[in-house]
Structure 1
């Protein structure tokens, strides 16, 4: 297989709008009934437009790349029979209601055998809820597991394992294990400001962070729950009054951009900002310019990871380089996550007797343990059934040395020592 996707492929319409029409490796329309017993249909749902669009900006490349791998191009061998693979892509528009509609359409119209979904609870949770109700195997990623698991429970205080829905990513413990070691290396008064909205991510973080902060010997200051589009003057004033020198959050990118600009204008400049859900991707740095310098965040995938595809052996470094060559854009973390969704689908379907046995496929998902583009993923040993945990590294956005204005550099590998350090940790604001 050609290690790099031709740049003209993206320029000539290998976009998710075209992919959503239901093209497949075998060229079928995606609208045949389940009487077509020689095909496995895999649905993929992500926010390719709207406020969360940066999460999915590399999805077109990944889906096309997956289609070119030998297992997807030639078909899956299951129970002595070869099944051609069709991938149908849906855009949520960053709207949970559209995510629900997309999942239902994949099931009723495209007869999906499995649905994959990525990028924040606004996307993954409604998709997983539909799949659980309809008995369709589902795998999600790029959503904190607590936000995915507990907010979908009838009673979050008495959670019950799901049967058909699984996921892999980080949890608050991993954020703590990633962020606290960076805090410890910067001289501060140990007062931590938290910016968390009234949404599944924000509520999960607000619940889980205080014990981690207090155990580490820090003081917690909650900026208060807020809704999308809020003004942040009162929150910033609170952080200033309490002399917060460390900052954490989990907002939508537009809200953080507005808050961070307001903070800079007012003179609120915490010594170290460690952010989640924002500044995860190069496009997120553009609205803030130099205000992103030395902001720290988590990295669960990148070219510095010693990972390799289970589909064709391609390394994480080569995969990131291929994306940059094809798109002219900087690599982004979700490339590896979305790729691994399709690795997992391959692993599950090819280790059961028949892809039509949804319960067997779902049961296999809950016990998978393999190594691929996202490293080792063990669904049998998660914090709750059906959840696999990744170990991130701490990174900071620093001035780029090449063609990109800012680069994500590894500054702490406390949770993942196999990843080399690439730069010194520096205060966000001296």
Structure 2
């Protein structure tokens, strides 16, 4: 392979085209609201229904049914990393908000029997935890939202959840590890009143990855080099009941160098340790810019493991295509896939139809970030069941009795809590997480093929994992 220089964070974002822009879905009646600072929040309001008129004519009387009583709108606040290092998680936001606006243009009937419009207020966390906390507070205190939604790593979900807990506002999270939010430093569960998650566990990722390795037909020495930056994701992955437990149960040995600090331009220490220990598998979770640097330097230094896997760095095609050889052969989390064909609860489409709609309206390759739409489906389901949608305590009770299938899989909060199951904490139900391998595509340069459904029950395994091929 030719020598390649390290990629800085700024260069990566420029290459990947992930800088993002403020949501511009269309204002409806809500218009644009200006938040604190320089950011604009986009408010999308579903269209109001036409008024009903009773008309009386000589010799006949026609009465038009009044329909359900109208209640005040439900305002949903969305905090999303539209810009910055984690913008890949928000790349589908404009699309799914537009889809939701169309699907709910006539409003919904909430649990109290009233018809209500839905307003969506979106703010950019800028992939910064301090900013995420600020805008979440603004949404609750200034925009007066009824509920907060967040996705995109602990850098967004954790500070948004902290604000919701402090200000007494329900929060629904996705696309982030549950351990980083619901376990303390001692590994013991934390009690939270207002915060809930359809959140993955690194134990799911490891179970899927190891299932893919072991069913590939490729023999390894089961020595795994764990690559992490020093952040909340690393803490969640390496919690005692997470990666260490799952790997140990399957007979793997972990090699864990010191967590790197960002920005990370030199991985010589980590690569040297992996080589000296004979690691044939790489795993962990990393931000795309630093993972790209690691991959390039591994090739330069002659480190060629049989399998290379990672969490958030290998979910989205926009990131994968910036890696050597377009990322072909790398294994990541399968957090959503058109082949799952899960029915959308707000329209006539399924996962496959949503992917096609996304591609038609954006001109871009479908992305697993479409799965972030699932938390919005969940929120609407909650309000359809809440007996008093204007009372946050009533909304909490509806969240606690959630039972249904949304775009990231089945949820049942009425199941008994089981530390090793899908309901590991009273406030968490895990989504489906499979393993996917990036292959040379037929329609796009690279496409993900699902290679394990170990923790995504009922979803299709499309092929066996294949070992890396180095040129």
Q: TM-score, normalised by structure 2?
A: 0.82
How big is the shift at 1:424? 3.4
Q: Which whole-Å deviations, capped at 9, do the CAs of 1:86-138 have from their partners, x for residues lacking one? A: 10001111011110011011011110000111110000000011001111011
Q: Which moved more, 1:411-420 or 1:42-51?
A: 411-420
CA contact (8 A) 1:79 1:352 kept: yes
Corresponding residue of 1:180: 210
Q: How does 1:73-152 map to 2 (within 5 A)?
A: 73-150=106-183
The reply to whether residue 51 of structure 1 matches residue 85 of structure 2 is: yes
Compared with structure 1, are the counterparts of its residues 96 and 76 closer, same or farther at alpha carbon in structure 2 (3 Å cutoff)?
Answer: farther
Corresponding residue of 2:201: 171
CA contact (8 A) 1:15 1:60 kept: no
Q: Which whole-Å deviations, capped at 9, do the CAs of 1:325-379 have from their partners, x for residues lacking one? A: 111111111212x221111111111212211211121232122111122221123
State the distance in 2 between where 1:332 and 1:177 align.
23
How big is the shift at 1:178? 0.3
CA contact (8 A) 1:380 1:388 kept: no
Q: Which whole-Å deviations, capped at 9, do the CAs of 1:168-203 have from their partners, x for residues lacking one? A: 032122112201112213211110000012111011
Corresponding residue of 2:440: 399
CA contact (8 A) 1:269 1:429 kept: no
Q: Which whole-Å deviations, capped at 9, do the CAs of 1:145-189 have from their partners, x for residues lacking one? A: 111212xx5x64443321111000321221122011122132111
State the distance in 1 between where 2:177 and 2:378 align.
18
**Root-mean-square deviation over aligned CA pairs:** 1.9
Corresponding residue of 1:32: none
State the distance in 1 between where 2:258 and 2:400 align.
37
State the distance in 2 between where 1:15 and 1:182 align.
37
State the distance in 1 between where 2:381 and 2:401 align.
11
Compared with structure 1, are the counterparts of its residues 205 and 222 closer, same or farther at alpha carbon in structure 2 (3 Å cutoff)?
Answer: same
Corresponding residue of 2:320: 285
Corresponding residue of 1:307: 342
3-state secondary structure, aligned to 1:21: strand
State the distance in 1 between where 2:409 and 2:259 align.
35
Compared with structure 1, are the counterparts of its residues 353 and 419 closer, same or farther at alpha carbon in structure 2 (3 Å cutoff)?
Answer: closer
How big is the shift at 1:281? 0.6
How big is the shift at 1:390? 1.9
- Ranges in structure 2 where 5+ consecutive residues have no aligned partner: 1-19, 26-40, 49-69, 416-422
Q: Name the count of aligned residue pairs.
A: 403
Larger Cα Rg: Structure 1 or Structure 2? 2
Q: TM-score, normalised by structure 1?
A: 0.89
Which one has the bigger helix percentage?
Answer: 1
State the distance in 2 between where 1:291 and 1:113 align.
43
Corresponding residue of 1:420: 460
- Ranges in structure 1 where 5+ consecutive residues have no aligned partner: 1-13, 28-35
